[in-house]
Structure 1
Amino acid sequence: MIKIFPLLLLACLATLSFANEPSPNYKARYYLSLRGVQGQGLDRLDLGRPEENEGRVRAGLRYWRKLGQRWKFNTDLRVVYLYQKLKNLRSLPGQNTANDIYFEARQLYLEAPYLWDDLPLGILLGRKQFRDPRSWWYDNQLDVLQLQFNTTLLTGELAFGGRVVEERQAGSAEEQTGLKDSMFVIGHLDHHYYYGHHVEGYLIYENSDVKKNQIGRVVSMNEIIRPKSEMVWIGARAHGTWKIDPASSIRYWLDAGTVVGQSQNLSFEQEKPGKLRVNGFETFDVNGGIGFDIGAAWFFHNETIGLAFDYALGTGKGNDNLYLQPSIANNKGRLFGTIRYRYYGEFLNPNLSNLQIISGFAGIKLAEQIWLEAAYHHYRQLNPENRLRAARLSIAPNGQDEHIGDAVDLVIGGRWGERAKLQFVASGFRGGNAYRHQLSSRYAYRLTTTLTFYW
């Protein structure tokens, strides 16, 4: 971070000087984002309840500038203050508190969408936010060289890169961090075959080039540690919108993929309050597990009311036929309004692995860009296992029953004009029979509030 800071600071100062120059060839916008998180996990009989509290302030500048006829410069630079207090099952009676200020380049790249007049080829170099519409495949900021193909009905990208510097501090699972030792190749094709309907293809290669044996490594509870892994995903997506009449429509989506390669399971022990030590690892082959997600949303009453259904499944039995999502996936999207949230549940936030999820959604439009949305999720493992790949507030199930639990999310938010955006998410969870005889209370929750101002 110390080595990269002068470069980022110079880029910030240059951007600010550009922003003061009046010109129709640039856009500049400042923002201030305030975020608070409070949650309590499942209350385990022998170890108690994990807890998290977080406050985060981001102050930044988004800037876009046209450079000549073909090139453009795009950046999003910000200063972040993070307060985080975590209490983990393994750390009782201790806890881990973070209180950090750091500088982050969320985006910083040069792009030429069309290098020649008669060829639809483009290029991008730098740090870019990679995000597919549902974050089912990827949602992160990577330092890449990206080749582009741009036509009216067919677009494609092929990107090579990773994270040269990881200045981000690990947050409350808001985004996946700790990617400095990972390399990615991302391929994507999008065919707009009919008005409002698309079919897409994805190819992702991920190589986490860390030590195979990390036994003895000590980490903080809020630090993300990556296992040694090398995997390849191939998959497809279909999505679109059918207009039923002027007052109603149906939107549908289907994602499906398979993965092969090799990865690890890491185990930990208590080092001291707030610290964990890697005490073991298990290497296993990933041999063609399958994951898919299918759903639809119906908008009616002048598209002010919405109902939606989603079914998702990721295979797995132990390490056999196991499906794992890419580490840069985030499972966030828009259901009805303009707010993105985790459509598999804000509390559990699971990786789609040895798991099936049945979800129902409802939404009502309260104002021009404000929606109130509710969601219900039912979680079941395909095969009972004492491992659950999910957020930090969850705990390992007993491995004797498939029913992980049920969750309800309440979401309200959207844009207040052009200057402000608000999001509040309340998520409640009730543990199922997979936690029988393990809990003194089956109930847990997570609250998240985000308020952003623009000028």
Structure 2
Amino acid sequence: MTYVKNLAVAGIVPIPGRQPRRWGRNTASMLSLALLASLSGFVFAQSSEDEAFLDRFEFEVWVDASFERLGNMDLDSRRSDGLSAVVPELGLGIDIDVSENIDGYMSLLAEGWQAVDRGRERSLEENESSLNVSELYFDFYEITDELSFRVGRQAFADTREWLYAEELDGIRAFYDYDDLSLELSASREREFTRDIFDNDASEERVNNYIVYGNYQLTDDHQAGAYALVRDDQLDSVNPIFYGLRASGAATDSLDYWLDLGHVRGRDGSDRLRGYGVDLGGTYRFDRPLEPSLTLAYAFGSGDSNPDSDVDRQFRQTGLHDNNGLFNGVQDFSYYGETLDPDLSNLKIVTAGLGIRPSQLSSVDLIYHHYEQDVATDDILEGSLLLVPTNGESRDVGQAIDLVLGYDAFEDLRLRSRLGYFMPGDAFGNSASDAYSLVLGFEYTF
């Protein structure tokens, strides 16, 4: 979801880590690109007699464009604070067959953000464009029969993006043996600049250390465990995330998931001791249009005693995105398109109905009910709303989302996501409804 970036570009919220240009790190990034290109060129040259140079490359080009709209995010209908934008993207992916045991991949993204309506905030005129190195890595296979490595800027993403959905600069080891798979990694976010023409390297110095294990219990069930350390070199916030998870098919018609999370570590002088859970299931009926029913519950603990030196509020990793599918072809923010909160000091009950008009299309109607674990007068963690709760009521509100997806042809995908949030007593009696809209397409050549 690009709403947060959109709001930041418009000046409504600040862009974290945005600093003046620093040529040192930008130059380091370009040198890294040159070094990797030289390495691959050297290896290619060694085998040019055996195989044509261009046969070692595979190219993919895609175009993505969307219209996005946020309305009444301050919950005040007396102000026209709507924000609309067009978000185009042109991507190039290159697979590189370096040698028998080495592969490479690079993706470049030309992205833009163009405001088309700012409500009454006519002064918010800043638009944005960039050419980004989204991924750039090499895979090293067959270190042993079970062990391989990936080095460089790479995508970290779990199925529901509950833990992470980010491109990180680092090294990752993969170990696969029978039904067991393990991952170990060390990384940083934007250690070098992402934008080729402008330095957007992160000013943060957060080292990420991840251990992730998954075991295929049967053909239909799998279980996993993880530990994720975020070691902030410039601040005293050092959370450690532990968790267990399971997913699979209980029957031919019923899929399920379960995530159990616990956060420890320190935030300044406070000890972190929060916990969270997310569980649910989707049942598919054997009827025309393949109707489905999804029920889910998520809970992130709050802190009932903020004056103590133990912070019991659960927090997610900061690398997450909370995006996934139920039984359709189009992913969405499964905690709500408009509110889109983190699972922190929050209870979320979700019910969804879906149909599949064809194997290439889907319609999902989703309902959410939100309640704080502990009433607080603060901005909801991760939320797009611009106003805090009042600390008097735990009733955050309700939301309805409508999600449509259509894989029109083999290479063309259409999407639409409409969200409508109805605030509860936690925002006072005068709060009015907010909404969000995304219309877009993706075409792959």
Structure 1 length-normalised TM = 0.80
C-alpha deviation, 1:6, in angstroms: 4.5
1:326 aligns with 2:317: yes
- What's the counterpart of residue 78 of structure 1? 109
Percent of residue pairs bearing the same amino acid type: 23
Give 1:337's match in structure 2, choosing from 328, 343, 357: 328
How far apart in 2 are the matches of 1:33 and 1:259?
36
How far apart in 2 are the matches of 1:30 and 1:93?
37
Q: Deviations over 1:224-272 (max 9, x none)?
A: xxxx62110000100001343xxxx110000011101233xxxxxxxxx
Give 1:259's match in structure 2, choosing from 247, 258, 263: 263
Letter aligned with residue 342 of structure 1: S
How far apart in 1 are the matches of 2:301 and 2:216?
30
1:230 aligns with 2:238: yes
- Note the 1:129-140 alignment, pairs <5 A: 129-140=155-166
Q: Deviations over 1:73-120 (max 9, x none)?
A: 1121121122258979xxx9675333222111111110124313xx41
How far apart in 2 are the matches of 1:31 and 1:12?
24
Q: Deviations over 1:179-226 (max 9, x none)?
A: 75322111110100111210001111113334x5xxxxxxxxxxxxxx
Matched residues, number: 399
- What's the counterpart of residue 180 of structure 2? 154
Give 1:436's match in structure 2, choosing from 413, 422, 428: 428
On the 8 A contact 1:166/1:180 being kept in 2, the answer is no
- What's the counterpart of residue 303 of structure 2? 317
- What's the counterpart of residue 305 of structure 1? 291
- What's the counterpart of residue 239 of structure 1? 247
List alignment gaps of at least 5 residues for structure 2.
Answer: 1-24, 45-51
- Note the 1:249-288 alignment, pairs <5 A: 249-263=253-267, 283=268, 285-288=270-273
Give 1:99's match in structure 2, choosing from 127, 134, 148: 127
Q: Deviations over 1:374-412 (max 9, x none)?
A: 110000001111121132334201110011010000000
Letter aligned with residue 232 of structure 2: S
Which protein has the bigger helix share? 2
Letter aligned with residue 129 of structure 1: A
- What's the counterpart of residue 277 of structure 1? none
1:448 aligns with 2:438: yes
- What's the counterpart of residue 7 of structure 2? none
On the 8 A contact 1:205/1:233 being kept in 2, the answer is yes
Letter aligned with residue 99 of structure 1: N
Structure 2 length-normalised TM = 0.82
How far apart in 1 are the matches of 2:216 and 2:362?
29
Q: Greater shift after overlay, 77-86 or 126-135?
A: 77-86
- Note the 1:23-422 alignment, pairs <5 A: 23=55, 26-44=57-75, 48=79, 50-84=81-115, 95-116=123-144, 119-163=145-189, 164-167=191-194, 180-210=204-234, 212=235, 229-244=237-252, 249-263=253-267, 283=268, 285-301=270-286, 304-317=290-303, 319=306, 320-387=311-378, 388-422=380-414
Cα 1:232–1:74 shift into 2, 3 Å: same
C-alpha deviation, 1:338, in angstroms: 2.6
List alignment gaps of at least 5 residues for structure 1.
Answer: 170-176, 213-227, 264-282
Letter aligned with residue 407 of structure 1: A
Letter aligned with residue 292 of structure 2: G
Cα 1:401–1:357 shift into 2, 3 Å: same
- What's the counterpart of residue 10 of structure 2? none
For the residue of structure 2 that corresponds to 1:353, the secondary structure is: coil
Which protein has the bigger strand share? 1
Cα 1:346–1:166 shift into 2, 3 Å: farther
C-alpha deviation, 1:32, in angstroms: 0.8
